[in-house]
Amino acid sequence: MMILHDRKRIPYKVSPLRLTGWLILIFFLLLALLAPFIAPQDPCKTGTPYLPPSPDHLLGTNDIGQDILSELIYASRVSLAIGLLAGFMSIVIGVAVGLLAGYFRGWVEELLLAIGDLVLLIPGLPLMIILAAYLSPSMWNIILVVGLLWWCSTARVVHSRVLQLRNMPFVEAARALGCSDRYIILRHILVNAKEIVYAKFALAVASAMLTEASLSFIGLGDPLNISWGEMIHFAFSRGGFANDMWWWYLPPGLLICASVLGFVLISMEPNSRKFLEL
């Protein structure tokens, strides 16, 4: 009975909020992939600096005369890539820790959860700032720093889901049939925790994008791969903000909001009045 109940397929209904999230993300994905075809100009080409918006430059030009709209479109590649890769890294670590801790219990569980708690207690941004400051400023180092420090909450959620699953009859049956631990974890437990893992992945990407934006804003971004956060850094430190050039700092900021919102929306449970479960 229990097994039947667990296998019962709930008809998949896409909630309007989730659909909105997917539409936002598809838009950004297309923007990033088709950047060379959409961008009106080469984002590296320099010209007259600090131009206000005009038909030639719809969002004006920045401090070294690059077209801001084209820079914005190309920056979507960097911001999304950092978010997705750092989110993926943190999810892999978090799921591995959660699975091992929940399945093996005992001292493995104690140790892994204690490490997670320790990392959770250290405030994130100061630690990331100091790590990023010692590493050379590159996109990959930011991915590494964010990914290595954002796994704890994922590990906790996966761990508690595994605790629910590990004593269920179908897991016991698999164990009685002589399946190996590896097989049970990968084919039975992970599969049943996948909903949580997907939702957590979307939220991890959202957090990673916000963290990357803050790090880049402080000036720790990759100077060769400009992200949205870094565009705002330059607008802030090179006079765009002081001179009220909102067309320089507002569009990248709103795109950060929109893409983070997209990832938050797709993480929501369908048919639920709840909004977030972090």
Partner 1 sequence: MKLSEAGGRRSYFLGKLIRYSLTLFLILSLNFSLPRMMPGDPVVNLLGDEALHNDPEMIEKLRAEFGLDRPMHIQYTDYLRSLSRLDLGYSIHKSHSVADLVAYRLFWTVVLVFPSIVIGALLALLLGSLAGFKSQSRSDLVLTGLALFLYTCPPFLLAMVLVSVFAFHLGLFPLGNLTSGGRTGVEYIADVAWHLFLPVVTLSLLGASYKFLVVRNSVVQLLEEQFVLAARAKGLREMEILTGHVIRNVLPPFISMVALSFGFMVSGALIVEIVFSLNGMGTLVYDAVVARDYPVMQGCFLVLTVSVLAANLIADILYGIADPRIGRTS
Question: Whole-number minimum distance, CB 39 to partner 1, in Å?
Answer: 23
Q: Torsions phi, psi of 163, nearest 5? A: -60, -40
**Interface with partner 1, residue 130, by CB under 8 A:** yes
**Interface with partner 1, residue 30, by CB under 8 A:** no
**Interface with partner 1, residue 206, by CB under 8 A:** yes
**Interface with partner 1, residue 201, by CB under 8 A:** no
Question: Do residues 85 and 147 make contact, with C-beta atoms less than 8 angstroms apart?
Answer: yes
Question: Do residues 219 and 233 make contact, with C-beta atoms less than 8 angstroms apart?
Answer: yes
Site for partner 1 in 208-267 (CB under 8 A): 210, 213-214, 217-220, 229, 232, 236, 241, 244, 246, 249-250, 253-254, 256-258, 260-261, 264
Q: Which is nearer to partner 1, 173 or 242 (CB)?
A: 242
Considering only residues 122, 173, 186, 191, which one is a binding residue for partner 1 as defined by CB under 8 A? 122
- Please enumerate, as own/partner, the contacts of 271-276 that have beta carbons within 8 Å and a separation of 24 or more: 271/13, 271/15, 272/15, 276/203
**Interface with partner 1, residue 26, by CB under 8 A:** no
* Alpha carbon separation from 110 to 52, 118, 184, 210, 254 (Å, rounded): 58, 12, 21, 31, 42
Q: What share of the chain is helix, strand, coil (3-state, %, to 5)?
A: 70, 0, 30
- Residues of this chain that bind partner 1 (CB under 8 A): 114, 117-118, 121-127, 129-131, 133-136, 206, 210, 213-214, 217-220, 229, 232, 236, 241, 244, 246, 249-250, 253-254, 256-258, 260-261, 264, 273-278
